[in-house]
Structure 1
Amino acid sequence: MNTVKMVMGCLGSVVLAMVLALQTQNALAAETKIAVLDMKEVLSTSTAGKKAQGIIERKMKSLQASFKNDETALVNLQSDMEKKGAAWSDSVKREKAAEFQQKRRNLAEKQEEANSELKKLRELHVNPILKKLEDIVGEVASSGGYSVVLPRNVVLYSATSVDITSTVIAELNKVMK
């Protein structure tokens, strides 16, 4: 979800600059109507968002469980090295240190692979939702007469009357059953 936050933050900055430019140009013309949208809420409460989040969370828990044995073995080896290290010969110390480093590298590789797998899973399940959201937000904004829709996380204040989150969630639920 950090990717979504980063993208929305960048989009919000660009949109905000566009709004300021539009307001300057249209100061004498018609009023610019602005809406806000809470993307986090859309993704966490819509049916499609909940489904995607559930899939990702289940995979994350599964991956974390698979790391548990490796992490325990690493902690136990470190504990043995601290407790028994003084009694070991230099060659045993080097052997245990090399074993510890190898286990730590293996765990780091597994975690990196897991992060990559989770990223692909997010792309597979969240990106279609985001693509559909673009269309839905455009439709809701157009039908509501909004010139601009800003992400809620870049707006310091907005009246609840300009928040289109619930409308977008309802439309997303209709479209992505």
Structure 2
Amino acid sequence: MQRVMVCLSGVLVALALVLQSQNALAADAKIAVIDMKEVLSTSTAGKKAQDIIERKMTSLQTSFKSDETSLINLQKEMEKKGSAWSDSVKREKAAEFQQKRRSLAEKQENANKELKKLRELHVNPILKKLEDIVSEVASDGGYDVVLPRNMVLYSTTSIDITDKVVAQLNKVMK
């Protein structure tokens, strides 16, 4: 029994030493945070990409407006006049409504694909450049770890490198 207690004590002491050394290492780490949304919304390149995407989105929404209005009007007509129509007219109108609804859904799906491609075309190069810039700013500042702000519960403004990254990104991507 005494041997078991001695072994258990030894294991506990070793565990305490390991935990203490890990805490000492963690205390030496210099951490920074970055707000990626802010970088993309305030940098020149990010604003430019956002503007292109928003203009396309507005254009697509405008093109859907007439299709949506036509669909709503057809639905209202079916509700108002449906009881007076013959079965064949009801079937025709129902088929027309289903066709218009499928067509609109297909257009919206294609628009979403187009917007996704546009984001990839304009935002992905910025994100790739940001990786290098964040590494450079972190290295210059002596930071060991850079975390996204939305993953951190609390941080002081002194460790936020967002403004430095935006300034560097603006310099690099004129």
Instruction: Name the TM-score, length of structure 2 as normaliser.
Output: 0.86
Task: Calculate percent identity across the aligned residue pairs.
Answer: 79
Residues 6-31 of structure 1, C-alpha deviation per residue, up to 9 Å, x if partnerless?
xxxxxxxxxxxxxxxxx986533471
Q: Does 1:66 align with 2:43?
A: no
Match of 2:103 in 1: 106
Match of 2:23 in 1: 27
- Aligned pairs for 1:71-90 within 5 A: 71-90=68-87
Task: Name the CA shift for 1:24/1:105 in 2 (closer, same or farther; >3 Å).
Answer: farther
Residues 63-120 of structure 1, C-alpha deviation per residue, up to 9 Å, x if partnerless?
0001011000000000000000000001100100000000000000000000000000
Match of 1:15 in 2: none
**AA aligned opposite 2:171:** K
Task: Name the CA shift for 1:103/1:159 in 2 (closer, same or farther; >3 Å).
Answer: same
CA RMSD of aligned residues (A): 1.4
Unaligned runs of 5+ residues in structure 2 are: 1-18
Q: Which has the larger radius of gyration?
A: 2
Give runs of ≥4 in structure 1 deviating > 6 Å: none
Give SS of 2:123's match. helix
* Number of positions where the alignment pairs a residue of Structure 1 with one of Structure 2: 155
Unaligned runs of 5+ residues in structure 1 are: 1-22
- Aligned pairs for 1:30-49 within 5 A: 31-49=28-46
For 1:135 and 1:26, how far apart are their aligned partners in 2?
29
Match of 2:172 in 1: 175
Task: Name the CA shift for 1:150/1:119 in 2 (closer, same or farther; >3 Å).
Answer: same
